[in-house]
Each structure stands twice: as structure tokens, then as C-alpha cells.
Amino acid sequence: MALLDRVATLVRANLNDLLDQAENPEKMLKQVILDMENQFIQVKTQVAIALADLHLLEKKKNETGDKHGEWMRKAELAVDKRDDGLARAALERAMRFQQLNESLDQQIADQEAQVEALKAALKRLEVKLVEAREKVDQLIVQHRRSRATRRAADAQAPNGESRTFARMRSKVAREEALGRASDELAGTDDEVDLRFHVLEREQRIDTLLKELKAKKGLNS
């Protein structure tokens, strides 16, 4: 997630190093704090959205669970009425909702992980923001003092610019690498796979039907 990458970059930022690279330290520090504040608002918003999505998934899971139970009851009713065709149709519907429920279980687990990641990022950024606000004045004073004492040496060996550009190149290379990274999911189903899938599904329905009949004490 690009937002979490941005937060991680801000959290790792060393304010002293940033001051060494800045032509205008006071302006730079204010900009860093502004970036942190903006990212804090964005992450906080994303936490709220992620939580809302999680609640929706949980609600959907409860609904599909109810639907599964409803179609199982209808299958039992059809068995009572000796209508195997109707029972099989009801079991087919029940299986669909059961599979959807299992899919929702994984989605909920993934969503919970995302919520926790966002909460952790929000907490780290909050700590960093408080630290930056507390240190800003102190860092500016320290930097002015250190710059004054190093001015002559820096004039003789001005290597700060090359170091800055090296860091920029490294950052750009990393961003490009992240931009190229992607997951590709591909799958193919041939005719044989499809036929076996249908057979397995029919076998499962047959098993469920026999279980219902056994439960009702009926001959299969």
C-alpha cells in the first residue's frame, strides 16, 4: 500500500540528516511536520474506512450463514416430502452460500490484518509527529550552531551536494523498483478439470442428501 510506504518513509526520517541536506532548515522542518500531519489525517481516515469495510464483511457473513441454514431447512422439508429433485436443488443453494461463507472468512481475516497494520502505522506516525514538534526549535538552534563551526571546512570540501544526489538516486531507484513490482494471478481450466469439478459437486450433493434422509430415518 503506497500510503503505508509513505508513512514508513516519514517515520524513518532522521531530522538531523534532513537538516544537513536543507538549504532552508526552518522551511524544511515545517514542511516535514506538515507532511506528517497530512499523512496522519489520511491514515486515520483509512483506519475508519477499513473498520467500516470489516463490519460490512462481518454482516455479509452473518447473512450468508442465515441463508445457508434456510436452504438446509428447505432441503430437509423436501426430503420429508419425498421430493429428491427439490431437495437436491435446495442443497445446491446451501452449498453456494457455504462456499461464499468460507470465502468471506478469508476476506475478513485479510481485512482484520489491514486494520491492524493501519492502526500500527497511525500510532508510529503519531509518536514521530509529537517528537518532531517537540524537537523542531531545538534542532534549528543546534543546526545553526553546527553550521557556523563547520562553515570553513565545508567550503574546502563541499561534498554534501554529491551525497544528497546519491541519496536521491537511491530513493528514486527504490520507488521505481516498487512500482514495477506486481503480482500476477493466472489460471486455466481445461475441459477435464471442469468435468471433474461437476462430478465432485454432484457427489457432495448426493452425500448431503443421504445424510438428510438418514437423519429423517428414510431409506435412501
Confidence (pTM)? 0.59
Q: How would residue 188 be classed by pLDDT, with cut points 50, 70 and 90?
A: very low
Q: Which comes out higher in pLDDT, residue 35 or 172? A: 35
Tell me how crowded residue 97 is: count the other CB atoms within 10 A of its CB: 19
Q: Which comes out higher in pLDDT, residue 143 or 62? A: 62
Which CA distances in Å does 90 have to 32, 109, 155? 61, 29, 84
- As a whole number of angstroms, the distance between CA 12 and CA 132 comes to 12
Residue whose cell numbers read 509527529: 129
Q: What is the DSSP string of 79-138?
A: HHTT-HHHHHHHHHHHHHHHHHHHHHHHHHHHHHHHHHHHHHHHHHHHHHHHHHHHHHHH
Q: Which comes out higher in pLDDT, residue 77 or 154? A: 77
- As a whole number of angstroms, the distance between CA 47 and CA 114 comes to 9
Q: Are 85 and 104 in contact (CB under 8 A)?
A: no
Q: Are 79 and 216 in contact (CB under 8 A)?
A: yes
